[in-house]
Amino acid sequence: MINTLILPERQNWESLCARPLLKRKEIEKSVRAILDDVKANGDPAIERYSTLFDGVHNLSLAISAEEISDAVNEVPEELKKAIDLAKNNIELFHRAQIKEDEIVETTKGVLCWRKSIPIERAGLYIPGGNAPLFSTVLMLGIPAVIAGCDEIILCTPPGKEGNVNSATLYAASLLGINKIYRVGGAQAIAAMAYGTATIPKANKIFGPGNQYVTMAKEVVQSEGTAIDMPAGPSEVMVIADNSAYPEFIAADLLSQAEHGPDSQVMLLSDDIGIIRDVKQCLYQQLPDLPGKDIAIRSLNKSNLILLPDLDACVTFSNIYAPEHLIIATGNALKLSEKVKNAGSVFLGNYSCESAGDYASGTNHTLPTNGYAAGYSGLSVDSYLKKITFQMISEEGLNKIGPAIETMAEAETLYGHRNAVTIRLKKINHE
């Protein structure tokens, strides 16, 4: 099952950080065919793929207000209370991200500022393959609402009976999202990228998904549709010392392994005893996991690694750039100061990754596959454009104008220089 590696050579760390290889060329070929079909044929193409991939047909793509109302009534009160609690925490955390724009006078008479403008139409993709991820509705929808997007559309795959999960619809209704469409996979990304008779074209597409969804997002991005980030198969890395609880770590590893067979989980430790005990706990907990068959396939691509010390563990982690990083050590807070690359970090024995997935308040839509080295997780800023403004008075142009003229002339851009010169002559009555 899971591999155990003892003190691997430093020159081998980069190769150990490589994710399981995907058949990108084959996936891209299939995805491009779907995208082209939806672009050319719209709703009929989507309906064909719904029949082919989801086994449903002759269903309206748009979810009606009546369906949403019925779904809200179907959700158990205990689950509603849990979703409400999560919603409140996520809202509290994300509202704190709103900052007032500041006007800066760079030179007397020269005022510069940025203004945050929300994306007009946000397209949200909610996965529904192995499990209906209604929590992702909260993670994507709440910052979109806080940012002030004019329109929010939501696509999610239907179940085998053609219905969308009732908790997904309840979460959407809590946020006031009512433009919901039963469509999943690459065809959903195509619909939001190009628009169809039923599904509006989005200015930016958000949300995680499988390899096909991720590839579809990458392709439409190359064609001009903005996306949030590359967010593919889930992953977790745990750094642990002898103060950690092996049963906790095993549970954390399995919590990510159950996402899908292409997920990857990793444990780094400076203590061979922890590695041995975690492996034993994995074998003990795995039989009770309903999705054990999926988890086993994920564990086959995963590693438990002994390294010389905790500093080496953090260095390895920064190379790997995990989506989720759990630091279960006695000095977790201090050690976390050395983290450079990670999507979201969980400190201490009781900060389980599941908390971030659901209810602590942080966002669970995060960069995977090493993209945490250059991308941040989803936030309110993801739904905002930052437009710069400037207002220059006569006094201001008099102060900076000569420098602009000199620089423009040095770059042989005489039209740029003249745009300043002609104004300076007017100001100075020349």
Q: What is the DSSP letter of 360?
A: S
202-222 pLDDT per residue, tens: 999 999 988 899 999 999 999
Q: Is residue 158 part of a domain?
A: yes
Domain total in the chain = 3
Q: Is residue 374 part of a domain?
A: no
Is the same domain home to 52 and 84? yes
Residue 87 banded pLDDT, cuts 50, 70, 90: very high
Average pLDDT over residues 65-89: 96
Residue 129 banded pLDDT, cuts 50, 70, 90: low
User: Residue 395 catalytic?
Assistant: no
Structural element, H or E, at residue 3: strand 3-6
316-336 pLDDT per residue, tens: 999 999 999 999 999 999 999
Q: In whole angstroms, what is the distance from residue 181 CA to residue 173 CA?
A: 14
Q: What is the DSSP string of 30-91?
A: HHHHHHHHHHHH-HHHHHHHIIIII---S--SBPPHHHHHHHHHHS-HHHHHHHHHHHHHHH
Mean pLDDT of the chain: 95
380-427 pLDDT per residue, tens: 999 999 999 999 999 999 999 999 999 999 999 999 999 999 999 999
**Reported pTM:** 0.93
Is the same domain home to 196 and 96? yes
Average pLDDT over residues 236-255: 97
Q: In whole angstroms, what is the distance from residue 273 CA to residue 243 CA?
A: 11
Is the same domain home to 207 and 318? no
Is the same domain home to 11 and 92? no
Is the same domain home to 217 and 260? no
Is the same domain home to 218 and 265? no
Is the same domain home to 290 and 168? no
Domain endpoint, select from 361, 385, 407 = 361
Is the same domain home to 157 and 270? no
Q: Is residue 175 part of a domain?
A: yes
Query: What is the residue whose two structure tokens read 């990304």?
Result: 189
**CATH assignment at residue 399:** 1.20.5.1300
Q: Is residue 9 part of a domain?
A: yes
The pLDDT assigned to 195 comes to: 97
**CATH assignment at residue 298:** 3.40.50.1980
Q: Is residue 264 part of a domain?
A: yes
Q: Is residue 110 part of a domain?
A: no
Is the same domain home to 148 and 278? no
Q: Check 323, 353, 364, 405 and give the catalytic one.
A: 323
Q: Is residue 224 part of a domain?
A: yes
The pLDDT assigned to 70 comes to: 94
Is the same domain home to 10 and 33? no
The pair of three-digit structure tokens given for residue 128, joined into one six-digit string: 């529904």
Is the same domain home to 338 and 273? yes
Domain endpoint, select from 214, 230, 246 = 230
Q: Is residue 162 part of a domain?
A: yes
User: E strands within 131-187?
Assistant: 151-156, 179-182
Is the same domain home to 97 and 238? no
Domain hosting 421: range is: 393-427
User: Residue 364 catalytic?
Assistant: no
Q: Check 324, 353, 364, 405 and give the catalytic one.
A: 324
Domain endpoint, select from 361, 384, 413 = 361
